[in-house]
Amino acid sequence: MSRRGVLITFSGIDGAGKSTLSAMVLSYMESRRMPAVQYWSRGGYTPGMDCLKAIARKVFRKKLPASGDIEGRTRSFRRGLLRKAWIWLALLELIRVYGGWIRWKLIRGNSVICDRYLWDTLIDFRILFPEEKIEDFLLWRLLRRVAARPNAAFVLHIPASVSEQRSTGKGVGHTEPTELVRLREAHYEQLDQSRGFHVLSGIDSSADNSSRILSVVSQVVNA
């Protein structure tokens, strides 16, 4: 059996630098011939969930909004039963990914670098479904129990205004209203070092953050 892999996670609002820095860690591990994969995830938008949504749209056709129809999705989620069904399916799929697929990769000796993880999904659901107490869902509690624990978890902070500027610069087709971006910023500020996160500023240079991150990563991979 090969040496067990490590799990590294990056969290933060859009434009904070998660993808860039997770790719940097992947390159670092590959340069040292450590088997590793980079994985992006978002509750409700995993491959399995995308497949289920595509099937549901074919079956129910006009009863469900098309992909990318934000206003239609918001109207649909006003229906309590549909909203809860979507949440349950999304959580079940994350149990498969975080509690199954990632754990299997780690056991097989592959390190996994996650662009977004459990906490990002919790913030997403709190904002998307303010009517629901996600933390009280049985499936959420099960997800927290079975999800692989990160060996190092980083959270990147940037102001909401910077997030909007960077999203616009990337040519993102749809951006959230400013008030929601600010709400996300406030939620992420709660992910501090007291919960085991390595807190970084997304405003700092990539070189500075890379140095700090690799210092931590080198410790966990050599532990």
Chain centroid offset of residue 202 CA: 16
Find tokens 């959580």 and name the residue. 91
State the CATH architecture for 7-43+97-221: 3-Layer(aba) Sandwich (3.40)
122-145 residue pLDDT tens: 999 998 888 899 999 999 999 999
Taking the C-alpha atoms of residue 186 and residue 222, their distance in angstroms, rounded to an integer, is 35
Find tokens 């109207």 and name the residue. 75
Q: Which of 45-49, 56-60, 91-95, 127-131 has the highest mean pLDDT?
A: 91-95
94-120 residue pLDDT tens: 999 999 999 999 999 999 999 999 999
3-state secondary structure of 176: coil
Chain centroid offset of residue 212 CA: 21
Helix (H) or strand (E) holding 28: helix 18-31
Instruction: Quote the pTM value.
Output: 0.85
Find tokens 């992420």 and name the residue. 188
Residue with the bigger pLDDT between 60 and 94: it is 94
Find tokens 């079956």 and name the residue. 59
157-206 residue pLDDT tens: 998 888 888 877 665 555 677 888 888 888 888 876 567 889 998 888 88
Chain centroid offset of residue 46 CA: 10
Residues pairing with 36 in the sheet:
111
For a pLDDT cut of 90, what percent of the chain falls above it?
A: 48
Output DSSP code: residue 193.
G
- How is residue 196 written in tokens? 């085991």
Taking the C-alpha atoms of residue 150 and residue 220, their distance in angstroms, rounded to an integer, is 10
The whole-chain average pLDDT of the chain stands at: 84
The answer to whether the beta carbons of residues 19 and 208 sit under 8 Å apart is no
Average confidence (pLDDT) over 79-105: 89
Residue-level pLDDT at 96:
94
21-33 residue pLDDT tens: 999 999 999 999 9
Find tokens 């390159």 and name the residue. 27
Taking the C-alpha atoms of residue 16 and residue 7, their distance in angstroms, rounded to an integer, is 20
The values of phi and psi at residue 134, to 5°, are -55, -40
Number of H helices and E strands in the chain, helices first, is 10, 5
Task: Give residue 1's pLDDT band: very low, low, confident or very high (50, 70, 90).
Answer: very low
Check whether 59 has a pLDDT greater than 70: no
The values of phi and psi at residue 192, to 5°, are -105, -175
- How is residue 97 written in tokens? 């990914």
